[in-house]
Amino acid sequence: MRNSFKQMCACWGIAWFLAIVMPSAYGQQNGTATHGVKSVRAVRSETAVTLDGSLDEPAWQDAPISLGFIQKDPQEGQPSSEKTEFRVVYNATTIYIGVICYDTDPTGIRANDRQRDSTFQNDDTLTLVLDTFHDHRNAFMFRTNPLGAQYDALVTDEGRELNANWDEKWETAAKITEAGWVAEFAIPFKSLRINEDGKGQIWGLDLSREIRRKNEQTYWNNFHRGFELQNVSQGGHLQGLENIDSGMKLRVKPYVLGGLSRSSNDFNKDWKDTSDVGMEVMKYRITPSLTADLTWNTDFAQTEVDDQQVNLDIFPLFFPEKREFFLEGAGIYDFGQIRNEATRDLTLFHSRRIGLTPGNLPVPITAGARVTGNVKGLTLGLLNVQTDREQDLGVPESNYSVARVKRNILARSFIGGFLLNRESGGTGDDFNRVYGMDATFVFHRFLTVSTLWAKSDEADKKLADKDWVSNGNVRWESDFLLAGMEFMFVEPNFRDDLGFTARRNMRRFTPQIGFNPRPKSGFIRQISTRAQFDYMTDREWNLLAKRNHFTFRMEFQSGDSIGATPHYREERFARPRTLRERDVEPEPVKNPGVILRVPEIVVPPGVYGWWYTRISYNANPARRLSGSFSIEPSPGYFGGDLFEWSFSPRLKVSNNLSLNLQYTINNGTFDDAASGKVVEFQDHLLNFKVNYNFNNRWLTTTTIQYNNADSFSGVNFRLNYIFRPGDDFFLVYNEGRRMDDVYHGQKDRSIQAKLTYSFDY
């Protein structure tokens, strides 16, 4: 323990020394900030603009041309190898951005993906960000490829949260020509949020272009490494917007659902009618910068299914949110997110706690409301959702509330507060509340200092002590250097019914340091090395666990990369821990149908330490066949042995058809203390997706899943017809089967058709 503490202090000292000494030297090397270096003026035109991938209308001819795209990779600061130019025009309701991507070899342009909200990592792309409040923090992101496919996202706090599930009404068109390719964006002002003063506005603006075959990234303004496009504080300016109309005051978007479902586990195995109607969303624009959203009898039939996971650790799994109502505008509610390398320690607000049981079974949502936006210099988020009682699951009716407020300070910093409340039954006898404050300060471009404090409260006042969490993080992160120190305290009685907490009664200290040189090599782009040390105790400072992380990654100019991550992990616990469970029917004759979940592998109390190393290879996504492969042997894993293989190939058959496979194999051998027997298992975990898109409006996804650890196989088919921007028709078929356990032969099937149609006023 003493040596580990010395090691932690030494790393902390090194990190602080480098964070203090290196900024000036690196700042001289990296040059001055790029914010505001470039500016473009939008030209007002009442002449019609037709989205056809050609900039031949008179409106485009009157607009000034902006040039001068600069490389970020592979040669920072050098002019783009291919010329790019754009123009901006607008009328009272819409802003238009037209871009010409010249290319000396048009046959080399990559264009494969038509899927809405795909990242287009296989394709040439154009991406733009609009900082409509000009606060240098938040923005709207829009992306397209040479096929005119669409991706949009909300950028919060310069990319601390990037919400790709935000979908709004906008249009694009693209076309490959003999000189390269052309893209046109048409973005209605009603799809954005703007300042209340519609006269003489100045927005932040930046554009990036990916030339995929060259693995080249070029930017109009923000070209310095260490920043991404979502770091809108480094963007340029868009001027000339005057007398614009924020448009819509009210949007009403009802839905109609028709469907049938059947389960062999029900007493009545006939098909059930699941048809319904409700309000997908009712959106009211209180001011141009503040919006209220209402939903009633909410349905999530079109939601993408979760990827199958197998838990082989003593801590719970985290499943991401995928439901549209909770994802739209989620950035304001994304506070208290504390991650540690590839794991998640704490999320104060995780919306999956609303409308889903811990076993991910749906609970009916009666109604919900939220208010988000900016008012008098504050960023505001209010959310309230009422769920109905689910008698079969033993879930009472409950109310969930979240309040979040932030104020921007200095150039790129903020302070904020929050309150979460869950109350069940309506009597006031069962509630849980969490409240607290957080702040983030950004200095000298790459130095970030953040802090968090939160406290819980509940009906049982016996737990009114030792019920808080706190976190502090000092971090310097540039393209070359990573250095930082973090602490995190979670008290034993802290409880958050609206969040995710991996471990309680824990104090973690984490120094880290990393170097990312770019050698002057013809084939190596960057080498990344990092060392991180986690030291965890309980509140009495008794050692609980420690982890030593070492990472080595080499990225090649080709876009391929290889990596090796040696880790040492040590866990100490005073009571037995369950590592694996299974379902059994203990007395099928006396009590038929009674199922119990019992431990299959129990780890006795003690101290367990082992080394494990993940070796991985990632292929350039520009290739028609790409993907990744990794192996991770873990001898001594909680006293046993574990070996993981992971394959994730991706095949682009055409610009209509793509295949994606995620296949993981876990081989394990353990001595079970409870039975005294050797337990061996081999898990097969498969998630296979087939995307076939007839065009940019008719999209299909078929997902096939297999998980022998939970004796599950399933198929999900999803057809999405975007018959106009913002309105959809969905046809969804689901089938799940249980195999080789006490649920053998159980089948659940459903088919549902859903139509949404919005009315704007």
* Mean pLDDT per 10-residue segment, the chain (761 residues): 43 40 37 68 89 91 92 92 96 94 94 86 93 89 95 86 82 94 94 71 93 93 88 91 83 92 73 89 86 86 72 75 73 81 83 79 87 86 90 82 91 91 82 94 89 91 82 93 95 92 92 93 89 94 94 92 95 88 69 71 91 94 89 94 94 90 94 78 93 93 92 92 90 89 80 92 84
For the entire predicted model, the pTM comes to: 0.81
Distances 186 to 48, 75, 680 between C-alpha atoms, Å: 12, 32, 58
For 116, the token pair is: 């809405």
Write down all domains in the chain, each with its CATH number in brackets. 33-241 (2.60.40.1190)
- Residue 513 and residue 415 in contact, taking contact as beta carbons nearer than 8 Å: no
- Residue 562 and residue 630 in contact, taking contact as beta carbons nearer than 8 Å: no
Buried b (16+ CB within 10 A) or exposed e, 155-175: bbbbbbbbbebbbbbbbbbbe
SS3 content of the chain, % helix, strand, coil (to 5): 10, 55, 35
Q: Is the dihedral of CA 520, 522, 526, 531 positive or negative?
A: negative
- CA atoms of 50 and 607, how far apart (whole Å): 69
The pLDDT of residue 590? 63
- Residue 634 and residue 661 in contact, taking contact as beta carbons nearer than 8 Å: no
The pLDDT of residue 536? 94
- CA atoms of 94 and 130, how far apart (whole Å): 13
- CA atoms of 761 and 156, how far apart (whole Å): 28
Buried b (16+ CB within 10 A) or exposed e, 513-551: bbebebeeeeeebbebebbbbbbbbeeeeeebbbbbbeb
Number of Cα atoms under 13 Å in the Cβ half of residue 586: 5
The pLDDT of residue 685? 93
- Residue 517 and residue 501 in contact, taking contact as beta carbons nearer than 8 Å: no
Sequence-distant (6+) residues with CB within 8 A of 666 are 310, 312, 642, 643, 644, 681, 682, 683, 685, 709
Helix, coil or strand: residue 116: coil
Helix, coil or strand: residue 699: strand
- CA atoms of 462 and 255, how far apart (whole Å): 46
